[in-house]
Amino acid sequence: MSEFRIDQIKSQDASRGPDIAGITTFTGTSGIVMPSGDTAYRGGRGRGINMGGAPSPSTARSEIIDYVTIATTGDSVDFGNLSTARSLVAGCADSTRGICAGGYDEPVSSPGYLNIIDYVTISSTGNAFDYGDLTVARNGLSGSSNSIRGVFAGGSRPPSDTKEDTIDYITIATKSNAQDFGDLSALKRNTGCTGSATRAIWGGGTPDGSVLVNTMEYITYATTGNAQDFGDMTGTDRRHTIGSSSSTRGLFAGGTTPTLQDDIDYITMASLGNSVDFGNLTDARAEFGGVSNQIRAVFMGGWDSPAYDTVIDYVTIATTGDATSFGSLGGGARGASAGTSDSHGGLG
């Protein structure tokens, strides 16, 4: 094979570049390197997925996974199914894989605590596959991730819905069981979770059925250890708030006090401090899926007493203001689901 070195090359009449046939390689300080490999594994397509949940609090759980293209508006579209129908699950993702962890698989009168972790390839559609197991079977947990690690914290476990402070983690690219990371500052469930490429931050939650908190705490993904104080959420103590983020700003939206809330708060994740008012959802609700593409945060479905809702709304994360209608859940009303995306703030 011959080698030639050039600064510029043109056609004979200097009107265009040459046509080069065959296999060509080059090296240099600049140039275009074409992507390689299966397109299903390249990621970064701006797709948000909403996993599991329930059509009502007293009926069987849902195995539905649906998705939206975050940069557009419209109704969600069927993606596939989880391995087991369940609600009050946790989600996280890197640019390729979406993860769904824990939950319960029975009507609320007889909850079952699950340690299941499923995964899907976000850029394709289809049913979920087994990934591994949590360290503790539980529901009501929440999760976040960067491009390497996913973390899951809190929840309830048997017997008698005992609250958990467990934080465990996975390396998303490698299928395996979760490992112990550390503990939250207190036993609690139904926290919201948001994150940057460096930190995961949990907000709100409940240590029992009647006591609510407004505290926020965080971990650094690259280390292991217990969560540390970040600050407090604005307004009243609440649970079932939902997190979403850009690479710099984290949001907490909705929740119950136990009255349903439409508040959206934000934090600057690289610093510590209390959250600041951002605006309001299109309607007060809790237990929905939150997804983002670092520009928009989209909130899918949720509890809107006395039933779950089909509403999808969104905000532009870099600004402040009230949410705008996005569309509806294509598969019908659903809540207690987990949202994630291939382009959220934890991916940098």
What pLDDT digit, counting tens, does each position of 249-295 carry? 999 999 999 899 999 999 999 999 999 999 999 999 999 999 999 99
Domain assignment present for residue 22? The answer is no
Q: How confident is the model at residue 142 (pLDDT cuts 50, 70, 90)?
A: very high
Domain assignment present for residue 105? The answer is yes
For residue 56, the model assigns a pLDDT of: 83
Of 258, 333, 248, 320, nearest in space to 288 by CA? 333
**Number of Cβ atoms within 10 Å of the Cβ of 308:** 28
For residue 40, the model assigns a pLDDT of: 43
For residue 54, the model assigns a pLDDT of: 92
Domain assignment present for residue 235? The answer is yes
Of 164, 95, 102, nearest in space to 132 by CA? 102
**What total of structural domains would you count in the chain?**
1
Return the sign of the alpha-carbon dihedral for residues 246, 64, 93, 343. Answer: negative
Domain assignment present for residue 241? The answer is yes
Domain assignment present for residue 3? The answer is no
**SS3 label, residue 244:** strand
For residue 177, CA distances in Å to 11, 84, 97, 275 come to: 58, 17, 16, 34
How far apart are alpha carbons 37 and 78 in whole angstroms?
A: 26
Query: Is the pLDDT assigned to residue 248 strictly greater than 80?
Result: yes
Q: Are strands 162-163 and 116-121 parallel, antiparallel or unpaired?
A: unpaired
What pLDDT digit, counting tens, does each position of 301-325 carry? 999 988 899 999 999 999 999 999 9
Query: Is the pLDDT assigned to residue 41 strictly greater than 50?
Result: no
**SS3 label, residue 39:** helix
Q: Domain holding 310: CATH number?
A: 2.120.10.80
Domain assignment present for residue 128? The answer is yes
Burial of 237 (0-12, 13-18, 19+ CB in 10 A): middle
Question: What's the mean per-residue pLDDT of the chain?
Answer: 90
Instruction: Identify which has the larger pLDDT, 37 or 344.
Output: 344
How far apart are alpha carbons 301 and 320 in whole angstroms?
A: 21
Q: How confident is the model at residue 106 (pLDDT cuts 50, 70, 90)?
A: confident
| Cα atoms in the 13 Å half-sphere on the side-chain side of 183 | 7
The structure tokens listed for 273 are 């401090």
For residue 313, the model assigns a pLDDT of: 98
Q: Give the distance from CA 251 to its chain's centroid.
A: 12
What pLDDT digit, counting tens, does each position of 49-75 carry? 999 999 987 778 999 999 999 999 999
How far apart are alpha carbons 49 and 344 in whole angstroms?
A: 11
Q: Is residue 30 within 8 Å of 295, Cβ to Cβ?
A: no
Q: Give the distance from CA 167 to its chain's centroid.
A: 16
Of 46, 45, 123, 113, nearest in space to 79 by CA? 123
Domain assignment present for residue 227? The answer is yes
The answer for residues whose C-beta is within 8 angstroms of residue 221's C-beta and 6 or more apart is 145, 146, 148, 149, 151, 169, 195, 197, 198, 199, 200
For residue 25, CA distances in Å to 20, 34, 35, 344 come to: 11, 11, 14, 35
Q: Is residue 101 within 8 Å of 112, Cβ to Cβ?
A: no
Which residues constitute the domain of residue 112? 47-347
What pLDDT digit, counting tens, does each position of 79-101 carry? 999 999 999 999 999 999 999 99
Q: What is the mean pLDDT of residues 118-137?
A: 98
Domain assignment present for residue 140? The answer is yes
For residue 43, the model assigns a pLDDT of: 45
Amino acid symbol at 76: S
**Number of Cβ atoms within 10 Å of the Cβ of 319:** 9
How far apart are alpha carbons 274 and 151 in whole angstroms?
A: 22
